[in-house]
Amino acid sequence: PTRKGWWMHQLFQYQGFWLSAFGIRGIMLVHDHFKPRPTDIIVATSPKCGTTWLKALVFSIINRDSYDFSDHPLSKASHQDLMILLELHIHGSGSTSLVDGLASPRVISTHIPYSLFPERMTEGSSPCRFVYLCRDPKDVLVSKWHFSNKVRPEELPPLTLDEAFESFCQGVSHEGPFWDHVLGYWKASLESPEKVLFFKYEDVKKQPWGCVRKVAEFLGVPFSEEEENKGVVGEIVKLCSFEKMSSLDVNKRDTRNRERPVSNSDFFRKGEVRDWVNHLSPQMAEKLDQITEQKLQGTGLSFH
């Protein structure tokens, strides 16, 4: 069955998740052709959970010896080019040749639900490592609503918050239901902590330094005493901060074109925790909290 997605795409239900046609094709191409490498780092998120931020953090952690912080690729190049979205890239080119051509270690971003990856990437002996970031669904909804209106084609009427809310609650959003996406990675992080590292946006905001150190340890490149003394962790946190990234020319310009209808700037709005209080009614917040509580009950995960 199909329903009208609220990101202007038609969404299809595929193996328990709502996906666009390109998402499904991307997954199929990953199954058929993607060759994981032992050095691959998959940055996974449900959309609007802070993908851009996590990609930047992982990229700057893993490449910290290769670049000077005062002249860093993140300050000059499009984050959409530096760390590609796997399914979009594969779908766009129809093959994995571009992904195959990337130098190791590859930092590859994805919204693909964990259970929809091929087993060769998720089973115990697989070399892939995943770093996952999730976020309070109330902030995700608000962020998605703003984003979808920003990138919608001019001929389409704006999406109301009520419409966005209803769809989201029913699980109908890209790679939704949101909670199932989160739980897939949460459970994998409990079962295989050496394979999947799990974060919440709110925690990274509170303790970015701790998060940067954890990611580095997880990826087998912990900070040396010398790096700690030189303040490298702080440099990375600063380089990837919302304030810094959103103020860069490359992220302020309108970078849309025919191949890429979403501008770099569209990925930066407020970058805050609890912006939902400015948009959702108390009833909406309560309903979302109830769904979240029900879905996460007994899993050990919460957004309080």
Active-site annotation, residues: 111
For the chain, give the number of residues.
Answer: 304
Residue 7 is a binding residue for ligand A3P (CB under 6 A): no
Residue 184 is a binding residue for ligand A3P (CB under 6 A): no
Q: Which residue has the tokens 């809310």?
A: 165
CB atoms within 10 A of CB 254: 9
CB of 85: closest distance to ligand A3P in angstroms?
10
CB atoms within 10 A of CB 219: 18
**53, 178, 179, 186: which one contacts ligand A3P (CB under 6 A)?**
53
**152, 275, 287, 289: which one contacts ligand A3P (CB under 6 A)?**
275
CB of 243: closest distance to ligand A3P in angstroms?
8
**48, 64, 106, 279: which one contacts ligand A3P (CB under 6 A)?**
48
Residue 109 is a binding residue for ligand A3P (CB under 6 A): no
**139, 175, 180, 235: which one contacts ligand A3P (CB under 6 A)?**
139
The closest alpha carbon to 152, from 21, 45, 256, belongs to: 256
CA–CA distance, 103 with 109 (Å, rounded to integer): 15
Residue 80 is a binding residue for ligand A3P (CB under 6 A): no
Among the candidate windows 47-55, 64-72, 158-166, 289-297, which touches ligand A3P by CB under 6 A?
Answer: 47-55
**61, 134, 245, 301: which one contacts ligand A3P (CB under 6 A)?**
245
Among the candidate windows 9-17, 60-68, 138-146, 163-171, which touches ligand A3P by CB under 6 A?
Answer: 138-146
Query: Is the distance from CB of 9 to CB of 174 less than 8 angstroms?
Result: yes
Say if residue 31 is exposed, middle or buried (CB neighbours under 10 Å; 0-12, 13-18, 19+).
Answer: middle
Tell me how many degrees the CA angle 37-42-44 measures, rounded to the nearest 5.
160
**5, 47, 113, 171: which one contacts ligand A3P (CB under 6 A)?**
47
Complete DSSP assignment for 106-146: PEEEE---GGGS-HHHHSTT---EEEEEE--HHHHHHHHHH
Total binding residues toward ligand A3P, as defined by CB under 6 A: 21
Binding site for ligand A3P (CB under 6 A): 45, 47-53, 139, 143, 146, 240-242, 245, 267-271, 275
